Structure 1
């Protein structure tokens, strides 16, 4: 028994070292938010006493609450709509049978190869024609249906017990009722994984909100951080505090759903 424990010691030591490397940026971010700009530039590794001063500077220079509310509105709206639409698409691709669905799925997967920069200008022109410039919905709509999420739900649906669907149809349940009462509870791990991915992508999105929200009256947390680093003189203590505040929601969401996230990525169904 003792020999087995010593055999696993190198693996645990290796993982511990990599865990320290992974946690170091977070530690440096937290420590830097409590120090002055000069201390941050000097790579100080010890906590300072400038946290309250940095907080007052940050909230005096930027509308943090407004940016936080906008980011939450965009991230939550995108996540909810994306889960509904992409799960319906993945469910339909796997449950219903037709000759052209595999070809259509192949076309959707080809869309993964198209960089967003190639579609950004046509998207901007489209929203400009319908009068949705400077609209939060112009940020949300392009992200509510992605080929990756559709593929994720379709692949997870392959391990979904189809016998349950047939039994539910015999009992007289409609397709909507089967989706809402059977499919969603059974696929909750996949929904959790998709929610984490979508929320993080929507929260951290910078390029498209920067392009479409051109007035400057509405801005997200990534845009706020860019504003902090865009002046002639950058206060790195305040900047790191802004980065810390912008990182907290995604870290909380991931820690809450980390177990379901791992199950959903591996396609596990309970």
Structure 2
């Protein structure tokens, strides 16, 4: 009976893994085929890989789009790590009833969909554009500021901080460290797995963000990679082989970030503190 149960589990996991991996395999295979082969559902590798790469780099400015996405994603991730960890640390280490009320309101904000605040957010940045141009519309800063941290990240850091050994802070205070030194010299190194998990989540979310950059960025030279891929697909006769090649290239940075930090990501998501 145990053997039958184990076989059933393996079959289920194999099917689930195939369903999860198949879209990526199809994407990679399609990047080697012509547009007609992709539309016909060809599942075998073709001979159009070099041609698709040449067409992509010759017809669109993919490198500037990649650089714009990189600037936005890296800036957003670094700011999110700093702000969310400081907030989560403060909410957990320096508890009070007033802070708990603020934290509850912060969590309630997670229930508000982005579509509900999109128009007033646009109006706010449109107003900023006249007085502070580098923070308004059609700027990379305008994309970063509203997304540089979230209520979920603050909640994530606070929950992980519950497992942080408070004795280390007391030992640091005895040694004469101030509160900022306690945070940067004791808390940050100890919570590196939490930072890794939060960093991966934030980077992937920022890299794949489409709606807000589409609203804010109006100049063609400031397009991000999701915007560029969307434009490729909206042409009158889209070249699906070239589009799949663009998608493969856009997936490489997030895949590298995840696989390089996979071990820390798993430890951070399970609440491990080292």
- Match 1:75 to one of 69, 73, 76: 73
Aligned-partner Cα distance in 2 for 1:5–1:185: 44
Tell me the residue number matched to 1:12. Answer: 10
1:96 alignment partner, one of 89, 94, 97: 94
> Aligned runs of 1:14-163 on 2, under 5 Å?
14-131=12-129, 132-163=136-167
Deviates more, 1:117-126 or 1:4-13: 4-13
Equivalent pair of 2:34/2:240 in contact (CA under 8 Å): yes
SS at match of 2:83: helix
Shift of 1:22: 1.2
| 1:2-59 deviation line (CA, Å, top 9, x unaligned) | x977763332232122212211111100000000011001111110010111111111
Matched with 2:185 is 181
- Secondary structure of 1:29's counterpart equals helix
- Match of 2:223, SS state, is coil
Q: Which moved more, 1:117-126 or 1:192-201?
A: 117-126
Of 140, 159, 172, which residue of structure 2 is paired with 1:168?
Answer: 172
Residue 264 of structure 1, aligned match among 257, 261, 268? 268
In the alignment, structure 2 segments of 5+ residues that lack a partner are 130-135
- Count the aligned residue pairs: 268
CA distance in 2 between partners of 1:18 and 1:7 (Å): 17
Shift in Å at residue 243 of structure 1?
1.0
Q: Deviations over 1:208-246 (max 9, x none)?
A: 000000222310000010010011101110111111111
Structure 1 unaligned blocks of 5 or more? none
Q: Which residue of 2 aligns with 1:246?
A: 250
Equivalents in 2 of 1:8, 1:181: separation in Å? 47
Contact 2:169 2:182 in 1 (8 A): yes
Query: Quick one: distance in 2 between partners of 1:215 and 1:19?
Result: 41
**Structure-1 separation of matches of 2:149 and 2:51:** 42
How far, CA to CA, are the matches of 1:202 and 1:99 in structure 2? 33
Contact 2:65 2:221 in 1 (8 A): no
Is residue 2:256 matched to residue 1:217? no
TM-score, normalized by length of structure 2?
Answer: 0.94
Structure 1 vs Structure 2 CA RMSD: 1.3
1:64–1:86 Cα change, 3 Å: same
